[in-house]
Structure 1
């Protein structure tokens, strides 16, 4: 039985739960056939991954029982579920007909998390491990955090450094990657932190620790990052002051239970949108998607490229605006320039936007995308290599990505791609096959389970 097929209904457990890991990822190669028909109709993408993580973690921190619905059932979110179970939360969620998870989470509240009996394995989930550092910092326990081979290569010092300034301790001292141990303290001091990067994970870790610190903690960013944390915390009884690029919490607050309904993930929606933009004759509606301005930068980029894309607000899920994104194919796309200040709102969508840029007339430039080098894999190098297989000239110049588009691009036959265990790359290269004229093979296409397990089924259903 695969990790994603295991029941999630659980009782309290202090045992760490191993989570899905790319160390054990299949080596299987998947053949992606061209779609027989254009994409038409409506689709609902899975729940937002960022909001799903936070719904699980914040519920675990709260006093009482929270009800969550629409939670993404993916390997990454299951890593967060496994982690909070290991720390003493009671999780009882069940899979729904639409594939989402719905149910209750009873948190540890003022008692704090329990000392787990072993290391917490965060699988491939950077969000899980980085937010957990902020969750654990205010408590007198020592927890070892680890993950799969990919996660063990990703930078963690950026989170550990400000938490050390607040009073938490990490071992080994100065550790830059996993595995590492965090020892928290109930005597955290508030800080005012100038972040060197725009990172919602970094910001959230500091804010979560700051809620239990002495004084007011502030985070200042060079550009606005995702604000899901700032929108969600008030529902859990935690007051937050925020403005674009800065956020503050005062210490001495506590979490209470809350109901959270998770809207569709804009990052997942981006792959559907780009598929429709690339496949002639396509016209689709992507429904119930989060329209948070910090998450739909990809829409603005596609607009500038000349894509037929529009957004219609239809309501909200808690404080998160949501609605429908409609996309239709157009014959001519044009290159554009994507500035550094925009990157935080579309960083996860750069691989698929790069594929669209490969079809556009002119040279598209994505500025200040060095962060791609430290994602699940080196996405910057992978994009350049993958587009090269299509006969597209793409290159990195410093931290900027340049793509010389080829209008009317037709991918050659016999292409093979390696996802490198990266879900965003697996979905991106699959669009070469789905929207093209020749099949492509993708090594470890199943990496999509990290964020969108039903991706292939949804694409093929829209083409029936």
Structure 2
């Protein structure tokens, strides 16, 4: 069993977010093991002299739209080719109701121009989709609005924004799926410990479950209840995994220990989907090695990620010999099916790339991954860490 400790994740998404805030006048120091943000309050944000480029980060562009909606200047946001294909109307619609003016390309695509309004109006908004990005954009705008804002979620989505707002001294009322907040008092800077990302940990949880004679311990992984769907699915499928809680003043975290296990199929859908949406590609790989038929449903959101992950997961795993069928809202996977080698591609999607790299650990022949550089978006040392654990 090996342990590896990591420092601040210098993934492309994190670095793109830092670059955007620097363009808006925020002083940020990037050190070896932490980031120091010298905040002066939201009123201190200034108009950027150039377009704001979020790279591949859908979270950054959507949350920035909410922040900039209440600033009295014009901003333009764009990203890479993947970002320019992802839907922005789901954020533009509620922010427009709050009196901000946003202009997108045909089809509601980036680049997006945000003409902020210094006196936003609060709204009551029933979320048409379960999306933490959309919810957070509305909350960031609502923090600046003159009247109360209420968001009613379709399903419970990840709540990192709500937790961090409270940690920084903000006020938000949470009643089940209903969130209410008013214009916020001045927030106070805090020391924030960010646990390990469970979406990144998921690849090692699956690898250790599938590779013979494995045991891996992952330390200080975030186990926020809105993100732990992957742990529930692993348990349902018979994975050998234990969880040891660690003390924290912010996001809950734990050490996770996982070892090889014989797996059985399961059904994944409903309210569980928002709690593991980013982990579904690697769960699909896990299901190829489980006994029986695994059904993933109610996962239409996979179609509007960096790729159409329903089709991409099915196509790439079929190339390696998996018995997997795409559906309108998910996947049907029959197992266990031995995987062979072949040429596959990430299609520019970091989570697809990492999933296929893990598939290479159990394939009978070499797996060649095209466009592996996409993985640096969220996990630049992924291949180093895989190699270290494989020794």
- TM-score grouping bracket, smaller chain normalisation: over 0.9
Equivalent residue for 1:42? 3
Equivalent residue for 1:147? 79
Equivalent residue for 1:79? 16
Render the CA deviation track for 1:136-170: whole Å, top value 9, x for unaligned: 11111100111110100000000010000001001
Equivalent residue for 1:334? 264
Aligned length: 391
Deviates more, 1:239-248 or 1:447-456: 239-248
TM-score by length of 1: 0.82
Higher relative contact order (CA 8 A, sep 6+): 1
TM-score by length of 2: 0.96
Q: Taking structure 1 as reference, are residues 371 and 110 closer, same or farther at Cα in structure 2, changes over 3 Å only?
A: closer
Q: For 1:235 and 1:146, how far apart are their aligned partners in 2?
A: 30
Q: For 1:346 and 1:103, how far apart are their aligned partners in 2?
A: 27
Q: Secondary structure at the match of 1:41?
A: coil
> Is 1:461 paired with 2:384?
no
1:312 to 208, 228, 244: 244
Equivalent residue for 1:297? 229
Q: What pairs with 1:152-163 in structure 2 (closer than 5 Å)?
A: 152-163=84-95
Q: Taking structure 1 as reference, are residues 175 and 319 closer, same or farther at Cα in structure 2, changes over 3 Å only?
A: same
Deviation at 1:456, TM superposition (A): 1.2
> Is 1:347 paired with 2:284?
no
Unaligned stretches of 5+ residues in structure 2: none
User: What is the aligned-residue RMSD (CA, Å)?
Assistant: 1.5
Moved over 6 A (4+): none
Q: Is the 8 Å Cα contact of residues 23 and 48 (structure 2) preserved in structure 1?
A: yes
Q: For 2:224 and 2:104, how far apart are their aligned partners in 1?
A: 38
Q: Secondary structure at the match of 1:43?
A: coil
2:135 to 177, 187, 203: 203
Q: For 2:148 and 2:161, how far apart are their aligned partners in 1?
A: 17
Q: Taking structure 1 as reference, are residues 110 and 358 closer, same or farther at Cα in structure 2, changes over 3 Å only?
A: closer
Equivalent residue for 1:398? 328
Q: For 1:200 and 1:131, how far apart are their aligned partners in 2?
A: 10
> Is 1:431 paired with 2:358?
yes
Q: Is the 8 Å Cα contact of residues 322 and 338 (structure 2) preserved in structure 1?
A: no
Q: Taking structure 1 as reference, are residues 173 and 253 closer, same or farther at Cα in structure 2, changes over 3 Å only?
A: farther
Equivalent residue for 1:220? 152
Equivalent residue for 1:324? 255
Q: Is the 8 Å Cα contact of residues 224 and 246 (structure 1) preserved in structure 2?
A: no
Q: Taking structure 1 as reference, are residues 252 and 272 closer, same or farther at Cα in structure 2, changes over 3 Å only?
A: closer
Deviation at 1:198, TM superposition (A): 1.0
Deviation at 1:110, TM superposition (A): 5.1
